[in-house]
Amino acid sequence: MQIETPTKKSISFEDFKTEVLKDYKIAVTSRECSLLGRREVLTGKAKFGIFGDGKEIPQLALAKAFKNGDFRSGYYRDQTFMMAIGALSIEEFFAGLYGDNSIKNEPMSAGRQMGGHFGTHNLNEDGTWKNLMLQKNSSADTSPTASQMPRLLGLAQASKIYRNVDGINAEKFSDNGNEIAWGTIGNASTSEGHFWETINAAGVLQVPMVISVWDDEYGISVHARHQTTKENISEILKGFQRDEENKGYEIIVVNGWDYAALIDAYEKAAEIARGSHAPVLIHVRELTQPQGHSTSGSQERYKNEDRLNWEREFDCNVKFREWVIQNNFSTQEELEKIDQVIKKQVKDGKKAAWIAYTQPMVKKQKELLPILENAADSSSKKDAILSLKNILAEIKDPIRKEILITARKSLHYLIGSESDAKTRLIDWIDTYTSEVQSEYSSNLYSESNCNALSIKEVKPTYSNEARAVDARIILRDNFDKIFETYPESLIFGEDTGKIGDVNQGLEGLQNKYGSHRVADTGIREATILGQGIGMAMRGLRPIAEIQYLDYILYALQTMSDDLATLQYRTKGKQKAPLIVRTRGHRLEGIWHSGSPMGALVHLLHGIHILVPRNMTKAAGFYNTLLEGDEPALVIECLNGYRLKEKLPNNFGEFKTPIGVVETIKEGTDITLVSYGSTLRLVEEAARDLEEVGIHAEIIDVQSLLPLDINKDIVKSIEKTNRLLVIDEDVPGGASAYILQNILEVQNAYLYLDSKPQTLTAKEHRPSYGTDGDYFSKPSTEDIFEKIYGIMNESNPEQYPALK
């Protein structure tokens, strides 16, 4: 018998039945995981659970349309999808719930994220790319609602680039741009700005993005009437619908319990997106939450009886089961048997995950107990240590924290005593700590051979007759060389394309390299960042341009939550070597002379933050970064484009090292540490100070994250015994961060004869008028007087008071 439903392809009844029953098993397995998962939380074995129950059936349809090379960017409801593509087993699901730190047991995030946050391994052990065309890919989830959206745009745009740009080695990433980026988002999360920004941008860019809205009418307890105009996302998006005259979206509405209709919907969406690169929105309605939002709180508090009854009836698994029986794919009895087998499988899988999670720690507990006993025997505080030991011995499945607390508290009782037993305890604590600490702290940055810090400096070279040119020319000619050398590199941003950026650092390059590689974008910083992240995750080398540093705040959430955490939250299994280019520091007014470097440093650990003092240094950073595999933010000096710099003759080759400071003036009396635009003022002040007999040494830190990896600043302080850190951030901002490093990490306090100080901008934002900077940020006179004051205090005879 041949049947026509539900796909257009005609397949035999038997084949279709096999597929339906396979789906049924996945749906039941996933549901059973959710049910048992909740129990694990209620019994205290897991802390928190957020599950995919009530969303199973649409995810099976999505998985059918999902091909190798495709990417998902979704959220915590997608366990069924992950199971359907073979990327999540029962054991792994529970390992995630327990927060197991072993990447082998918990491949999604090695216990770094809550359960329900998914991702695939896209990198080899050495940090190089796997062949992403041989697997189904999921970018690593993040918890903030809609934070998956900006990245989704870039994942989709990568296909557009691969289809339209010649010369890129796409073997591991693309087959002529046929890959779809599939997004998922909850109905309530569509209220976020990121959703709207991404939807508009994908419509403009016409990229193969299929976004599914899982609509269960709620966002935790808040009903759609508080979330969405007309309570209907597809209705209000109708203006985006494409037609004969205009490109736009294909919008599909389908009920989440209707297996056959869902398969049709996803097949149609895939055809459109793969073929024409038009984006598609699938509004999946009438979904439910059988167990409520998560394990914290119960839905009975905000759903009435009618709603709860409706949810029971329209539970997608219940409806699917009815459909399977009605269409004679199986019988009630057969399905019950399947259900029983799966219940047992899930229970067994859960047990196996618990054992795999707890056993290594039980082993350590057992190892520690006799060491504690021996230590107790050798101590006058025997009873106290034995009591700690006994408490630990009683814990059935101890976690690392409990084991280490016991060991360390016991050691505290041994202060002042000496014994072999104590030495053994100390060794055990040190070994165990160093063994496990990396499970929690590794991979914030790349640990591969091409991490940015391993790339060596290459100095710019100059011909004898080298001219001094407007500094923007140096950037332009260097970018030219970059685009010539790296076909996979591209740059985009506001005014980046046609006019070649607002300061013409890209002048003429769109004509030369085409509008896919040197591109204008809409005014939408968060998704400019997202474009970069997504494309970088698919093997391209994007440079995302944020027009001014003051506007990076729009993109900061995406940088901080997504880009900065990517390596860490996947324990090095995904990377996005995105370069973010912007310009800032002093110029004019609140929104064109910001230098919020402390704020950025604090929020962006995981991204290199580079603050070149001129355009040659900046160009050198771009060259370094393109050879590495890490994300970075490069802040060019906004007032530096028209200053003259000597024209190098090795564009594309000279490299500014990352994390290495540079001494730009030698001196013996005081060490001045600064960066960026402020440095020119520091240099001026230092020249003036020479006139009064003060010889200052000036150090340009060049990169804030990481900062002075060779600890060179302290070497200068050993000589000068005095320190002033100068910048134009607020008091306690980046200058305090630098000072903390110099005092605490580099131990400079050992060599100081004067109070180490900072000189910063005022705590308000810079005023606009022509003298706004003068009264808001440190001036040459401020710097001079501050330093003179320090010298006066140390030797009033030689440096009599200024006033």
Q: Which residues form the interface with Mg ion (CB under 5 A)? A: 186-188, 216, 218
Minimum distance, C-beta of residue 28 to ligand TPP, in the bound complex (Å): 20
Residue 143 binds what, of Mg ion, ligand TPP, none (CB under 5 to 8 Å, by partner type)?
A: ligand TPP
Instruction: Give the ranges where 378-497 is alpha helix by DSSP (H).
Output: 382-394, 400-413, 420-441, 471-485
Cβ distance to Mg ion smaller for residue 298 or 340: 298
Question: DSSP string spanning 627-662?
Answer: HS---EEEEEETT-TTSEEE--S-TTT-BPPTT--E
Minimum distance from residue 317 beta carbon to ligand TPP (Å) = 16
Active site residue 516: no
- DSSP string spanning 326-371? HTTS--HHHHHHHHHHHHHHHHHHHHHHHHHHHHHHHHHHHHHHHH
Amino acid at 662: E
* Bridge partners, residue 543, by sequence: 491, 579
CB of 188 to Mg ion, least distance (A): 5
Q: Which is nearer to ligand TPP, 293 or 575 (CB)?
A: 293
Shortest Cβ distance from residue 281 to ligand TPP (Å)?
15
CB-based contact 585:765 (threshold 8 Å): no
* CB closer to Mg ion, 291 vs 365: 291
Match 């940015």 to its residue by tokens: 452
* Nearer CB in complex with ligand TPP: 187/406: 187
Residue type for position 749: Y
Whose Cβ is closer to ligand TPP: residue 533's or residue 618's? Answer: 533
Partner whose footprint covers residue 640, from Mg ion, ligand TPP, none (CB < 5 to 8 Å by kind): none
Pairing of strands 696-700, 541-545: unpaired
Catalytic residue, chosen from 592, 602, 605, 695, is: 592
Nearest to ligand TPP of 216, 697 (CB atom): 216
Q: Could you say which of Mg ion, ligand TPP, none residue 293 binds, taking C-beta under 5 to 8 angstroms by partner kind? A: ligand TPP
**3-state helix vs strand vs coil in the chain, percent to 5:** 45, 15, 40
Residue 189 binds which entry of ligand TPP, Mg ion, none, CB below 5-8 Å type-dependent: ligand TPP
What 422-429 contacts at long range (C-beta under 8 Å, 24+ apart), as own/partner pairs, is 422/375, 422/378, 422/379, 424/371, 424/374, 424/375, 425/371, 425/372, 425/375, 428/367, 428/368, 428/371, 429/404
The residues of the shown chain that bind ligand TPP, judged by CB under 6 A, are 77, 143-145, 186-189, 214, 216, 218-220, 293
Backbone angles phi, psi at 521, to 5 degrees: -130, 170
Q: Which residue in 670, 611, 640 sits closest to 788, CA to CA?
A: 670
Task: Choose between 77 and 321: whose C-beta lies nearer to ligand TPP.
Answer: 77
- Return the number of the residue (32 or 215) whose C-beta is nearest ligand TPP: 215
Residue number, nearest CB to ligand TPP: 186
When CB distances are held under 5 to 8 angstroms depending on the partner's kind, the choice from Mg ion, ligand TPP, none that residue 144 binds is: ligand TPP
Is the separation of the CB atoms in 350 and 90 below 8 Å?
yes
Cis, bond preceding 6 (omega within 30 deg of 0): yes
Q: How far is the CB of 190 from ligand TPP (least distance, A)?
A: 7
By DSSP bridging, strand 11-12 and strand 757-759 are: unpaired
Tell me how far, at minimum, the Cβ of 81 lies from ligand TPP, in Å.
Answer: 13
Please state the closest distance from residue 216 (CB atom) to Mg ion, in A: 4
Chain length of the chain: 803
Nearest to 534 by CA among 564, 513, 562, 495: 562
Cis check for the bond before 800: say yes or no (omega within 30 of 0): no
Terminus-to-terminus CA distance in the chain, angstroms? 102
Query: Could you list the active site residues?
Result: 592
